[in-house]
Structure 1
Amino acid sequence: MKDGIHPQYRPVVFRDISAGMSFLTRSTVTSEKTIEWEDGHSYPVVDVDISSASHPFYTGRAKVIDTAGRVEKFNRRYGRH
């Protein structure tokens, strides 16, 4: 690998604004804001709108779409008679 062309890979805190959850991981993303973490160190923080804590698929709040009803409605309207 060439020296000096890769971004710095370091610990970063991602904070889900809608769920109020934060998690520490490693990333190359940069941020000007920092946060004091539970271990006493200061890390860059990135605010995200959706994470596994707030996404409907992971929380079980997903809406079930009636695709069978839509297909039947389409066939009634445009299907062969």
Structure 2
Amino acid sequence: MNKDIHPKYQQVAFHDTSVDSYIVVGSTLQTDKTVELNGKVYPYFAIEVSSKSHPFYTGKESIATQDGRVAKFNNRFGSIKS
């Protein structure tokens, strides 16, 4: 294998700015900003949406009740029996 061709893998602190929450995950992301969490210094990257703030994961998702083609077909022809 060639040496020095792979990006550096490290723990990175992602900051969900919408709920002011930090998530520390392994990543190859390179950034100049750092943040100290629990006595350790991590590279810092701000994000707007994560699993802690996205409506799908928090259970606050509103589902549109539009009928698609299949639902319209079933409403029109679903009760017809041959």
Q: TM-score, normalised by structure 2?
A: 0.77
User: In the aligned structure 1, how far is the partner of 2:5 from the partner of 2:24?
Assistant: 25
Percent identity, aligned pairs only?
39
Q: 1:10: which partner in 2?
A: 10
Unaligned runs of 5+ in 1: 76-81
Unaligned runs of 5+ in 2: 77-82
Per-residue CA deviation, residues 1-41 of structure 1 (Å, 9 max, x unaligned), is 32111100011101100011101111000111100111x12
Q: 2:79: which partner in 1?
A: none
Deviation at 1:67, TM superposition (A): 1.5
User: In the aligned structure 2, how far is the partner of 1:2 from the partner of 1:10?
Assistant: 20
Deviating 4+ runs (over 2 angstroms): none
Q: Specify the SS of the correspondent of 2:49.
A: coil
Deviation at 1:63, TM superposition (A): 1.1
Q: Specify the SS of the correspondent of 1:18.
A: coil
Which residue type is aligned with residue 25 of structure 1? V
Q: Specify the SS of the correspondent of 1:68.
A: coil
Q: 1:59: which partner in 2?
A: 58
Deviation at 1:68, TM superposition (A): 2.4
